[in-house]
A and B are shown apart, each in its own frame.
Chain A
């Protein structure tokens, strides 16, 4: 085999290799990238609305507030008498949807600590001040003074809007928008999904199969 034959063979080989490379590179560029689901934030976890509604939002939203209309059932002339069972628990009768868990050892297990016995559609503080249903936070403050002071300073409870009051308004929630006044502990919540390493089990509705079409 002489030099020229070798040269020809080498050149042919190189041409074949280059052509193969060209094909490989081109197809590699065209081939779809592996598609796998992207983790997206579930909008459920972005909800900024409070966990409960206060009296004002209930009436504003025209919800059924008949529960607050005490004299639909009670008589104005008759004084309400409370009844207790053998272990000293209040018999709730028609109000049995209420769970009593206010204070340690259910210490506040007595309606007229807060409700006005003489005007059932009002509140009455321990010092005899009467308040409307819309003023529930002041009622809470009549016992929980330190927390009330924090709340007035925006240090207790949720706020939203503007930290800079010169630039916009701030919204502060009523006590009852987080706490059920009869069962005051903040309700447990299901936690949002954990960090990335946990996300091999992505729920189908959170996954999308598309990538950005930025080309």
Chain B
């Protein structure tokens, strides 16, 4: 506007149109003001989506320490924050805990390939237990239908939909996180948001994950899932029994995976997929306890004939076995 004043007069011959009521100068002032106003309005409107961002990235969460550096008191405050956030978003007060690994416990899972009928109940029980997003639908467990006589995964089929299972000539192999003793996903994480716990569960701190998805690429079992969108879970389907490293609702842009139902198993219970299995093909327990059923299976059954992608050297804690 200032250079308008310095504009030399003689170069400004009056035009008839500008004389009635509005000078060129006042019009410029008016239109300049309108431009500024519209610009601010446009900026405000354009930045409006940031309000949503601010609603989930609270200062508390931003300043939160790494899981392993938090004192019990700090963890208490974090659990309270999570409970408040869940209550605000879903309208129900959850029971959020941070269960610690037990001494002398190492979890191992075993799945009886000669029993599994491929009914996919485990997949759905897992989704319901662990608050996975329904849109897009995330699932931790995949059931692969395989022709009998081979373990060649390229012959596997995910999208089978017959009237009833099992089908003649096929066996079924559910695949989920193998909770490797030598996990490639943990090695690649640039921020240490995923690590192996003393009881053998590889966990993810959803507040620490930056969503780079390196772990997803590193996993040979395609066990990790990424939240491309903010997870959608209907309020009435939310499981209120939550754990910090387990099934608390995730945010957009973080990776999640099977954690052996940490909110159940660290409280002594069986995982959800095991309890729903109608044929009892899934077995779980403490491998350090010689009396446990999992120790019995590792001793008595044909376990080591098949370790999924053994050549990768991942040393899974998830065993497939055969009865005879």
Contacts and interface: CB of A to CB of B under 8 A. Distances in A.
B181 interface: no
B24 A163 contact: no
Nearest to B133: A38
A75 interface: no
Contacts of B42: 18-19, 21-22, 25
A65 interface: no
Contact of A188 (B45, B134, B138, B166): B166
A66 interface: no
Interface in A187-209: 188-199, 208
Contacts of B146: none
Contacts of A3: 7
Contacts of B274: 159-160
A173 to B, nearest CB: 8
B46 A11 contact: no
Given A14-B39, A153-B296, A159-B270, A40 B278 contact: no
Contacts of A36: 135
B286 interface: yes
Nearest to B293: A154
A71 interface: no
Interface in B277-297: 277-280, 283-286, 292-293, 296-297
B268 A163 contact: yes
A196 B139 contact: yes
Contact of A189 (B119, B280, B301): B119
Interface residues of B, number: 81
B286 A26 contact: no
Contact of A195 (B39, B139, B162, B276): B139
B275 interface: yes
Contact of A164 (B45, B55, B268): B268
Contacts of B235: 212
A198 B120 CA distance: 14
B31 interface: yes
Interface in A133-166: 150, 153-164, 166
Contacts of A199: 137
A15 B300 contact: no
A178 B280 contact: yes
B270 A160 contact: yes
A183 to B, nearest CB: 16
Interface in B17-31: 24, 27-28, 31
A167 interface: yes
Contact of A194 (B27, B161, B279): B161
Contacts of B142: 195
A164 B269 CA distance: 7
A186 B268 CA distance: 29
Contacts of A38: 134-135, 232, 234
Contacts of B270: 159-163
For the complex of A and B, the 4 pairs showing the least CB-CB separation, nearest first, are A167-B268, A25-B45, A18-B38, A164-B268
Given A41-B127, A155-B296, A162-B269, 16 more contacts: A16-B38, A18-B38, A22-B42, A25-B46, A159-B270, A161-B269, A163-B292, A167-B268, A190-B119, A191-B119, A191-B165, A193-B120, A194-B161, A196-B136, A196-B138, A214-B55
